[in-house]
Amino acid sequence: MWTLSAALLLAAQTAQPSPADVALVRTALREVIPLGASTGIELHVDPLGRQIVLKDQRPEHILAASRDYPSAVCPDVTASRDAVTLRCETSKIEARLLPRAQGMMLEIKQTLGPPQWPDSSAIGRIVYDPAEVSIGGPCPGDTDAAQGECAYGAGDVEKAVEHWKRALATEHREYAAVRLGDVAAEQHEWNQAGQMYTYAGRKGPWGRLALVRLCELRGSCFEKGRYAPGYDTLDPAALVPVLHDEMLLRGARIFAFNEDLKGAIDHILAEGNTTPEGHVCHRAPALCQRLTLAAFRRGDDDAKARALALYITLPARYDTPVSVPTAREAANMAAMLGAPGYGAALLSGVSDKVSAAELPDHLHRAAELYVEAKDFERARMVLKFAQTLPLKKEQRLAFGSIEGALQPAPQKAEPVPPEVQKAREILARLRQGRVKEPAP
């Protein structure tokens, strides 16, 4: 593993101030829960969903351990056939499994800022076009800064770091410091990351991005300092498109982890469709959908309505790990707002992603909303497909009620005028030969 010692030495030799060797505190609380000898545990962390899921074929020992060593951060524990779920008091959670001689241990951290470990809420790696961010020519690059970015985008981190170390002695030193901090953060070297972000300064686009990264680590984003006249920490103004989008996404994520879900949604809605490349969420579709899902589930009615406004604009909204639960929440919200047909269409759009066990109930809800919208033809199409599935008795009954709602109502006979009734009677007698036709 590479280290930043050479980079820091080089920085100290320049006219720029050297980053201070200070410990960066980013954790408010740390807990460890012994899980025993099992090695087949799968860990799934969902910070925005405020839960940690431990999957195992025999979850009884995990459940027992969580009761013997109760968590203050995630105190609510439930178990299913193959998993234990810990529900947390905060979204600022990180968790990992630690192998120990006595067995696996679950480490839970409550962070001061947004979680930094890779999880479902992460933005992910954003690679810059060197020409767009003015650090050199297009790949393969004609400066150490540009060549480092090209190597980083290609996955060669060691080569990128070598270029960035040299770039610290060039006009692109602020950019190089930010990128060296990013790689240190990816390796959980938090002190080194903080040192390099500090070295990047507070001016210009890279200073602004470095400051946001620092406040994410420290949880200090909402301190009322300003780093340049007219700009606040999360303002994406005057940045090139890729940096504008990154700043916008980081800002939304910071709002969400400070429990302001409506603020997170509004932060994207305000400028999310203004970049030349299109919607800002194309850079982090999973994060944007996680934000809307959290707002649907934990926000007030206003936040849920704003989440629906964002959801219907999201790129790739049917192609993320939470596309099905988000579509269901969006459908319910659409129905509540008076658009059940649109809600049914959202459910139909993710039907191919629904598991076989959940598909009947999913289709029943879609058909139910189509009926509510009086779109009986589409409701019949859903019903016809559902009848090809292996259904349980209660599911067949549920679909039967939908089928009953599709039957045309019996028409009430309109009263027949007396003269028409008399004419019908005369015609009937004529047919029976009981009335003579008048003579010519």
Residue 432, domain member (yes or no): no
Range of the domain at 50: 31-111
| Bridge-based pairing state of the strands 42-46 and 76-79 | unpaired
For residue 16, what pLDDT band results from cuts at 50, 70 and 90?
A: very low
Q: What is the pLDDT of residue 277?
A: 57
Residue 25, domain member (yes or no): no
Residue 45, domain member (yes or no): yes
Residue 440, domain member (yes or no): no
Q: What is the pLDDT of residue 10?
A: 47
If asked whether residues 68 and 125 sit together in one domain, one would say: no
If asked whether residues 244 and 357 sit together in one domain, one would say: no
For residue 403, CA distances in Å to 381, 382, 392, 398 come to 11, 11, 16, 9
If asked whether residues 260 and 171 sit together in one domain, one would say: yes
201-251 residue pLDDT tens:
988 999 999 999 998 998 887 654 444 334 466 778 788 999 999 999 999
Report which secondary-structure segment, H or E, holds 196: helix 190-199
Q: How many domains does the chain have?
A: 3
Whether the predicted pLDDT of 65 surpasses 60? yes
| Mean of pLDDT values over 323-327 | 96
If asked whether residues 284 and 177 sit together in one domain, one would say: yes
Give residue 106's Cα distance to chain centre: 24
Q: Among 90, 111, 132, identify where a domain stops.
A: 111
Q: What percent of the chain has pLDDT over 90?
A: 63
127-165 residue pLDDT tens:
999 999 999 999 999 999 999 999 999 999 999 999 999
If asked whether residues 194 and 336 sit together in one domain, one would say: no
If asked whether residues 44 and 168 sit together in one domain, one would say: no
Q: What is the pLDDT of residue 231?
A: 45
- H helices present in 2-46, as ranges: 5-13
If asked whether residues 220 and 275 sit together in one domain, one would say: yes
Closest CA to 8 of 173, 151, 127: 173
| Mean of pLDDT values over 22-42 | 85
Q: What is the pTM of this model?
A: 0.83
Q: What is the DSSP letter of 20?
A: P
If asked whether residues 201 and 280 sit together in one domain, one would say: yes
164-209 residue pLDDT tens:
999 999 999 999 999 999 999 999 999 999 999 999 998 899 999 9
CATH number of the domain enclosing 274: 1.25.40
User: Are 93 and 52 a contacting pair, CB within 8 Å?
Assistant: yes
If asked whether residues 391 and 278 sit together in one domain, one would say: no
Helix, strand, coil content of the chain in percent (nearest 5): 50, 10, 40
Q: What is the pLDDT of residue 22?
A: 54
CB-hemisphere CA count at 13 Å for 361? 8
For residue 380, what pLDDT band results from cuts at 50, 70 and 90?
A: very high
Residue 164, domain member (yes or no): yes
If asked whether residues 106 and 133 sit together in one domain, one would say: no
For residue 405, what pLDDT band results from cuts at 50, 70 and 90?
A: confident
Q: Among 67, 82, 111, identify where a domain stops.
A: 111
Residue 433, domain member (yes or no): no
Q: Among 55, 83, 111, identify where a domain stops.
A: 111
CB neighbours of 1 closer than 8 A, spacing ≥ 6?
Answer: 187
Residue 425, domain member (yes or no): no
User: Are 171 and 146 a contacting pair, CB within 8 Å?
Assistant: no
Q: What is the pLDDT of residue 195?
A: 94
If asked whether residues 65 and 102 sit together in one domain, one would say: yes
340-354 residue pLDDT tens:
999 999 999 999 999
| Mean of pLDDT values over 326-339 | 96
Q: Which residue has the higher pLDDT, 100 or 108?
A: 108
Does residue 385 come out as left (phi exceeding 0), alpha (psi in the -120 to 50 range) or beta?
alpha
Residue 380, domain member (yes or no): yes
If asked whether residues 251 and 363 sit together in one domain, one would say: no
Whether the predicted pLDDT of 12 surpasses 80? no
Rounded distance between C-alpha atoms, residue 440 and residue 433, angstroms = 18
